[in-house]
A and B are shown apart, each in its own frame.
Chain A
């Protein structure tokens, strides 16, 4: 499983766009990139997943450059409730059946 590197923490203010970048230099051809959000005393919650280029859903966008060695999670107009830890994971969905190696994650603090 490819190792990931994220900033330990980030601060933002309500209404701003937040971009969290994850490095995964050793990503394999079959690996997907998945982002999870975790609040204190809760299990991680799926945010978005992608393989290449750009993926967008109702809560976030995921930008993946052509070399796939990094990815950026974009949260538009954050609110106080977006304060959480965000994890970037890479892995082969077909063979790992959900087995995930978590890095340290990024603690996002949204201020009023």
Chain B
């Protein structure tokens, strides 16, 4: 099946710095990708929809200036957590669907962000 890859798998950063997380569709083109956040023992929560060549759409309560999303190509979306704080520590997951062949979404392996 289709593969979605995230990088890095984990990252530790200091409070106040910015961190970029990449999401790539390895064998298909994705005009739309999705970013989720998951806190321990909780379900995935959709943060934003990343649209290739246009602005991302953010869910209610998600700060667009804090979570910058760029979808510059059909295979890459990036999420930048700006001025990270300890409360931003979480598991971030992206997903995408191969519109040409599949009806299910494929998820990346996730990125564990720890802000110290």
Number of interface residues of A (CB under 8 A): 21
Interface of B is mostly: strand
Docked complex Cα distance between A46 and B49 (Å): 20
- Known A43-B93, A46-B1, A93-B103; contact A99-B109, beta-carbon cutoff 8 A: no
Binds A, one of B13-21, B39-47, B72-80: B39-47
Kindly identify which residue among B46, B49, B103, B107 contacts A45, using a CB–CB cutoff of 8 Å: B107
- Known A44-B44, A46-B104; contact A98-B32, beta-carbon cutoff 8 A: yes
Q: Does chain A have a CB within 8 A of B99?
A: yes
Q: Are A102 and B95 in contact (CB under 8 A)?
A: no
Residues of B within 8 A of A (CB): 1, 4, 6, 31-34, 36, 43-46, 49, 91, 93, 95-97, 99, 103-110, 112
